[in-house]
Amino acid sequence: MKNKLFSIFKGDKWIWSCFLVLLGVSLMFIHSTTGSLEYHRHNTPVHYLISQSVFVIGAILVALVMSNISYKKLFNLANFLLGTSVLLLLITLIFGDATNDAKRWLHIPIIDQTIQTSDLAKICLTIFVAKTMATHQRDDEDIKKGAIISAIATAIVCVLILPANLSTALLIGITTVVLLIITRVKIKHILIVGSCAALIGLLGVMALGKTGTLKRAETWVNRIEAFVQNDDTKTKKDNFQAEQAKIAISRGGLIGQGSSASMQKNVLPHPYSDFIFASIIEERGLIAGLFIIAMYIVLMHRSVITAKYQSSSFPAFLCIGLALNIVLQAISNMIVAVNLMPVTGQPLPMISMGGTALIISSVSVGIILNISRYSEQEGKEKEKQEVEENDREQNIEDITDYPFIIG
């Protein structure tokens, strides 16, 4: 019975382990960081725990389903998926639910949930770039052509996301750059285009923020100024979130204050999502923080190993790209919590509270698991062929040792 239960989790066991552990950590710390909020809004200590548990179960089921759907189907759907995601981004930009002057969310009336379409666009763009670069590997000119197509697609997606979510647009751009480097695009070409785009984007954001043309840009400028100049009263006020996160981390020490013993969760904005990493360290200490980091490192490491043993380029590029989406977002969340970069509002993948974001992350994990299944099957077939070849060679040697006498 036990073997049958574990047999449904097909694919790389290390990736499955990291995924399930991170989901378990999510339930533990969402429950401990939402206690006062639950009583205030719902007069019950388990409302958010129950809702998150439902999404965790859904995430596991989605990962199981995706791990059984061949990644090869995504190759043919890449263009359609990118076009659909661009359309959804446009709809969100025009009709999306606005929060803090940012239209990031699209309401789904049938299930009464909201979805951040940029999360979906990340996966679709990664599939498209992986396909494009896999089919443009003949020579340097062909690689350059694939890189240009990928850059144009990335620019379209980032431009549609940027007005509401600068940090997500930047992360998508960085992920694409890393993926293009892996796909043998020359670094000098990437640096030239990337530097120009970054400079133009930075100047544009600063100009929009100072002139008030784009309300959200003013927030970005204030956060950057608060990070760079955090010694005056105004910037300290703007940097309130980061300051409270640092206090939470300093209180955690090596082993933490204990379960549900966090004091900063009552002061820190969004201790269950954007700053859940600081809450984890406050309650469970630096050891827990390092453990979380290790989970993401193992996830990335196993994804790279899975990509290494692919027999074709598309699954290899896709596997690394999807893993980069998850890990770079996790890094962004963590370094904001320790005040190494301006506040971005990026949740911690598979840990922060959120329903549709968790489901979309599980789609990425499921695709990676499916790719790992194929690499395992190919590895077993290759090993079987090698054994058969060795057996044939051994039989030939045995025959030559005892030659037949014909006469």
What are the domain boundaries of the chain?
9-68+239-379
- CA 320 to CA 317: how far, in whole Å? 5
Helices (H), 341-401: 356-401
Residue type, 288: A
Burial of 293 (0-12, 13-18, 19+ CB in 10 A): middle
| More confident of the two residues 157 and 217 | 157
Q: What is the pLDDT of residues 154-195, one digit of tens each?
A: 988 988 888 778 888 889 999 999 999 998 888 887 877 777
**What pLDDT, on a 0 to 100 scale, did the predictor assign at position 201?**
62
- Residue 70 makes CB contacts below 8 A (sequence gap 6+) with 370, 374
Chain center to CA of 406: 70
| φ, ψ (nearest 5 deg) of residue 50 | -65, -45
**What pLDDT, on a 0 to 100 scale, did the predictor assign at position 56?**
93
**What pLDDT, on a 0 to 100 scale, did the predictor assign at position 405?**
44
Burial of 252 (0-12, 13-18, 19+ CB in 10 A): buried
| More confident of the two residues 299 and 377 | 299
Residue 148 has pLDDT above 50, yes or no: yes
**Pairing verdict, β 97-99 and 113-116:** unpaired
Chain center to CA of 225: 27
**What pLDDT, on a 0 to 100 scale, did the predictor assign at position 406?**
42
Helices (H), 117-269: 117-134, 140-161, 166-182, 187-211, 215-228, 233-238, 240-252
Chain center to CA of 80: 21
- Residue 89 makes CB contacts below 8 A (sequence gap 6+) with 117, 118, 121, 157, 160, 161
Give the global pTM: 0.84
49 φ/ψ sector (left φ>0, alpha ψ -120 to 50, else beta)? alpha
Q: What is the pLDDT of residues 110-147, one digit of tens each?
A: 666 778 888 999 999 999 999 999 998 888 888 888 88
Helix (H, G, I), strand (E, B) or coil at 213: coil
Residue type, 101: D
- CA 207 to CA 221: how far, in whole Å? 9
